[in-house]
Chains A and B, each alone.
Chain A
Amino acid sequence: MKPGPELPAVNRVTRHAVLGDLEPLREVTIWFEDRAVKAREGEPILSALIASGVGILRYTKNGSPRRMFCGIGRCTDCVMSVDGVPGVRTCVTAVRDGMRVERQEGVGRWAGEDGRDGA
């Protein structure tokens, strides 16, 4: 599959009256399905995706879309498949260069796992 164009960071708060200008950090590239997403080193996957305008992070087994709810690791609304591991809380998992992040359906499936999705 040919990679799509990079998703630009459209939702960054680059300037702020109290916090000042966003300090430059080393950039890492993660993959959201076939799109490259530039992330700030050390930030959670969730914020990199939201910064790039990703609206849906997973679907329930009934196909209902989900994004995020608590943002601090409590609620598991934002779980995705990360490097083949489903159910990873993206709000408390830091980005890593080359990381592959995919939407899951239901509880998702492990890389290489055949058959239907879980419940």
Chain B
Amino acid sequence: MERDTRPAVVVGAGPAGLCAAIELKRAGAPVLLMDENAKPGGQLFKQIHKFFGSQEHRAGVRGIEIGKDLLRESLDLGIDVRLDTEVVGLDPNLKVWAVEGRRRSYTLDASRVILATGATENAVPFPGWTLPGVMTAGCAQTLINVHRVLPGKRILMVGSGNVGVIVAYQLIQAGAEVAAVIEAAPALGGYGVHTAKVRRAGVPMLVRTTIVRAEGNEGVERAVISEVDGKFKPLAGTERTLDVDTICLAVGLTPSIELASLAGCRTFFVPELGGHMPLHDEFMRSSVPAVYVVGDIAGVEEASTAMEEGRLAGIHAAFSMGYLDSGEMERRTADTRRRLRALRQGVFGAKRFTAKERILAEKEKECP
């Protein structure tokens, strides 16, 4: 098979994009890895906790170290990483439009495009939510763990999924006090081991509770919370005021699908994975031939699953460009798929596995 010498362009140098680029380069395929940020790594460098999984998923290693290892590997392989480079356009013929340093604009023709653009944290509006001091949990996490700055002293965490409880823990580690973690649902969302370590640090966790409003003049001075009924409506007479200067929102993420939409990728609504996302097959191919989607854009999960999805797409793209034979592609992706499957089991993983299966089935039905 003739090898395609036009580069594969990977958009986003987070865990998924880095792994995709590494697999492509390892197979000898030409690859460009683009990221709008000044530094690669995506959100890995704010993950300072030890990861779950097994040894082959790098369990027990902190995300920040996994990030450093991936960067080292990409450097050793000599991957062309273009930082400060925002991909602002992509058409179905795989013309990529990039803006470098917010100044220089250029286009190039890619042989394959792997979109690893991640996800955006959700907002939840309530009276006072624009006050200084209301921010996403990821914002606070970036400040404390990457920039080493404490955004507030007394914090209310809204949302008890893993993001909410992990960031609550890390805020305590950075020296803040967490006044409470609140959850509108009747059950806490995050892993029990995460909630347990935050709870034993003295942080109240309140289910069936929502934020009613933030109060303050030039910034948050208080948060008013209230219990909710089965339809998430605040219950009269249950309001309480917490003296906090910061309200962190950990209320889910939505896949960042702008480029996929520009390229014409068909999307599908999967609420349990964050909303609308591009359809993809088992090799992470979207409905547009030669456009792959990996990591949170393909359904919000975790860094560990994102890395495996990146590898899947990178291996398959290298194969489709003529740099791996089908046997080698099958062998390498089989390993990746086995590791991925191991992460999508149990009470938390099974839901994600089922959702992913729905995406594959829909892709098969809509664009075989």
Contact = CB atoms under 8 A, between A and B. Distances in A.
Interface of A: 11-14, 16-19, 22, 42-44, 46-47, 50-51, 55-57, 64-74, 92, 94
A68 B149 CA distance: 14
B36 interface: yes
A66 B144 CA distance: 20
A13 B141 CA distance: 12
B148 A19 contact: yes
Given A22-B148, A92-B37, A68 B120 contact: no
B interface bracket (residues with beta carbon within 8 Å of A): 20 to 34
Give the interface centre of A14, A22, A44, A69 by most chain B CB atoms within 10 Å.
A69
Nearest to B151: A50
A11 B143 CA distance: 10
A44 B147 CA distance: 8
Contact of A65 (B132, B174, B175): B132
A12 B147 CA distance: 9
B136 A69 contact: yes
A47 B143 contact: yes
A71 B132 contact: no
Contact of A68 (B64, B123, B135): B135
9 A-B pairs with the lowest CB-CB distances in the bound complex, closest first = A71-B139, A67-B132, A47-B147, A13-B148, A51-B149, A11-B150, A71-B142, A47-B149, A13-B174
Nearest to A42: B38
B173 A55 contact: no
A56 B17 CA distance: 35
A71 to B, nearest CB: 3
Given A56-B219, A64-B130, A73-B36, A13 B136 contact: no
B134 to A, nearest CB: 7
Interface in B174-191: 174-175
Nearest to B119: A74
21 contacts: A11-B149, A13-B149, A19-B145, A44-B147, A51-B147, A55-B219, A56-B219, A57-B132, A64-B130, A65-B131, A65-B218, A67-B133, A70-B120, A70-B121, A71-B140, A71-B143, A72-B139, A72-B142, A73-B37, A74-B120, A74-B121
B7 interface: no
Contacts of A44: 147
A19 B48 contact: yes
Interface centre among B36, B133, B148 (most CB of A within 10 A): B148
Contacts of A22: 148
